[in-house]
Amino acid sequence: MPEIEIPVGPQHPALKEPESFRFEVDGEIVKSVDIRLGYVHRGIEKACQDRTWVQAVYLIERICGICSHSHTTCFCQAVEEIAGIEVPRRARFIRSLFGEMERIHSHLLWLGLAGHEVGFDSLFMYAWHDREIILDALESISGNRVNYGMNTIGGVRRDVTEKDVDELGRALDLLEERVKYYTDVALNEATFRSRLEGVGKITREQAIDLGTVGPTARSAGVDVDLRRDDPYAAYDEIPFRVITADGGDLLAAAVVRLGEIEESLKIIRYIIENLPDGPIAVKAPRRIPAGEACSRYEAPRGEDIHYVRSGGGDKPLRVKVRAPTLANINAVAQSMRGARVADIPIIIAGIDPCFSCTDRMVRLDDVSSGRTEVLTWAQLSARCRASR
């Protein structure tokens, strides 16, 4: 049978973001794939050069709607290293706290999408319903579900109060129970297992050669985690386990991410029980002394790396960002070879490429009565919670 080329993207209903994949298929089997990126390249690195150091933090927050805290922490750490700023201990703990809350909502988002891509839509709805628990907690502390605006150069902008800690404690109780259930589903539900087992597989050697990072690498048995290997924020004081698995397939990816949610819940417990007193930020100078630094962060999808150079002025000379998906995209190309056409969506989703959007106000049209109601986010949230 002759090989046929199937273009998927840049705009395609099965993709959550614009990327272009050209699959060469022989019947149902994928022979090779050519990936083209850059469709959402917004020139943020260049734009940072025309913004002050503080303005750049807000722009960098918007690199990603899911792991916004990862990018700002990574950037602020680099700037703080250049300026020799010592971040207060309480601020470092709050950075780690938000980092773990972000990891939980990101991994639950992935779990839901994975369920959706394999036709298990109940899992998608359950996982995203429970993701609201952690998003509500993020919102009640920072005021935002995503793009929390917590980081600033020299520390964090908002403190965590006693009330926040109490609320977070209750959210953790609820989530711990739900995550146990999801782990049970992932490990024991026959249909879910059979759609993921052996799919999107890479070996440990390939994971290393392809430069994969984060859960994609860990699910192939590569024991890397920057929170342990290159500790930042408060991770040098927090005990935790690095979760790895041996399969290298998407089932292993699910096992790793669920295990990481469980670890993140424990880390959050540790943080709120051991949150040190003290200031949450120190004042940073408007002009950052000349110098350069390279900062790394274990984002939900893996290693995020920022290189920052200052010429001594009030604006950066150069900001370079490498987000984890670029490092993991090679694994998609590799594991696509020999895969079935039907598995294409889940293999792409397997590395968890990024997508997010958020509405602050919702208009409800009641078709039967013709009545239109405008609800604030709080009112809508209260209605949703009443049904939980």
Among 5, 166, 236, 373, binds another protein (CB under 8 A): 236
**How many angstroms separate the CA atoms of 97 and 91, rounded?**
10
For residues 72-91, which are near another protein according to CB under 8 A?
A: 81
Whole-number minimum distance, CB 239 to another protein, in Å?
A: 5
Residues 6+ apart with CB under 8 A from 381: 136
Residues 6+ apart with CB under 8 A from 48: 56, 59, 60, 316, 319
Residue 269 touches another protein, criterion: CB under 8 A: no
Among 54, 282, 317, 380, binds another protein (CB under 8 A): 317
For residues 107-126, which are near another protein according to CB under 8 A?
A: none
Contact assessment for residue 71 and residue 306, using Cβ atoms and an 8 Å cutoff: yes
**How many angstroms separate the CA atoms of 380 and 387, rounded?**
11
The answer to whether 357 is a known ligand-binding residue is yes
According to DSSP, the β-strands at 29-36 and 20-26 are antiparallel
Burial of 357 (0-12, 13-18, 19+ CB in 10 A): exposed
The answer to whether 48 is a known ligand-binding residue is no
Q: Which is nearer to another protein, 124 or 270 (CB)?
A: 270
Q: Which is nearer to another protein, 25 or 327 (CB)?
A: 327
Stretch that binds another protein, among 59-67, 114-122, 163-171, 224-232 (CB under 8 A): 224-232
Strand order from edge to edge, sheet including 20-26: 4-8, 20-26, 29-36
Among 29, 37, 165, 380, binds another protein (CB under 8 A): 37
The answer to whether 321 is a known ligand-binding residue is yes
The answer to whether 67 is a known ligand-binding residue is yes
Among 141, 220, 245, 344, binds another protein (CB under 8 A): 245
Residues 6+ apart with CB under 8 A from 41: none
Whole-number minimum distance, CB 315 to another protein, in Å?
A: 13
Q: Spell out where 3-88 has E strands.
A: 4-8, 20-26, 29-36
92-124 burial code (b ≥16 CB/10 A, e <16): bbbbbbbbbbbbbbbbbbbbbbbbbbbebeebb
Residue 29 touches another protein, criterion: CB under 8 A: no
Annotated binding site for Ni(2+): 64, 67, 354
Binding residues for Fe cation, as ranges, are: 67, 357
Footprint of another protein (CB under 8 A): 36-38, 41, 43, 45-46, 81, 208-211, 223-224, 228-231, 236-237, 239-245, 255, 259, 293-294, 296, 303, 305, 307, 309, 317-318, 320, 322, 326-327, 329-330
